[in-house]
Amino acid sequence: MNERQAYRVLIVDDEQPARQRLRELLDNDPDVGEVLEAENGLDAVEAILQKRPDIAFLDVKMPGLDGLGVIETIGVERMPVMVFVTAFDQHAVRAFESAAIDYVLKPYGDERMEAAFSRAKTRLNDRHVREFGQSVLTLLDSRRVDRPFLDRIVIRERDKTHLIRVESIDCIESAGVYVALHVGKERLIHRAALGELVGQLDPHRFVRVHRSTVVNIDSIVHLEPATHGEFDLLLRGGQRVHVSRTFRPLLEARLGQSL
Chain centroid offset of residue 27 CA: 25
For position 92, which CATH number holds? 3.40.50.2300
Same domain? 52 vs 172: no
Residues 122 and 190 in one domain: no
Please tell me the total count of domains within the chain. 2
Which of 128, 146, 164 is a domain's end point?
146
In a domain, 2, yes or no: no
Q: Determine how β-strand 32-38 pairs with β-strand 7-12.
A: parallel
- SS3 of residue 70 by DSSP: helix
Q: Which of 146, 169, 188 is the last residue of a domain?
A: 146
At residue 137, the pLDDT reads 59
CATH number at residue 233: 2.40.50.1020
Task: Give the DSSP letter of residue 190.
Answer: E
| Domain C-terminal end among 119, 146, 173 | 146
Residue 170 lies in a domain: yes
Give residue 4's pLDDT.
58
CA distance 192 to 214: 14
Contact assessment for residue 250 and residue 73, using Cβ atoms and an 8 Å cutoff? yes
Q: Does residue 201 share a domain with residue 101?
A: no
Residue 1 lies in a domain: no
Range of the domain at 66: 7-146
The low-confidence residues of the chain, meaning pLDDT below 70, are 1-4, 88-102, 125-147
182 shares its domain with 234? yes
Alpha-carbon torsion (106, 56, 138, 149), positive or negative: positive
Structural domain contains residue 215: yes
In whole angstroms, give the CA distance from residue 67 to residue 52.
17
Contact 100, 131 (CB under 8 A): yes
Q: Which residue, among 172, 155, 170, 186, has the nearest Cα to 65 in the 3D structure?
A: 172
Q: What pTM was estimated for this model as a whole?
A: 0.74
Beta bridge partners of 163: 154
| Claim to verify: residue 49 and residue 118 sit in the same structural domain | yes
Same structural domain for residues 57 and 119? yes
Spatial contact of 240 and 226, defined as CB atoms under 8 Å apart: no
Q: What's the confidence (pLDDT) of residue 90?
A: 61
What per-residue confidence (pLDDT) applies to 108? 76
pLDDT at 68: 82
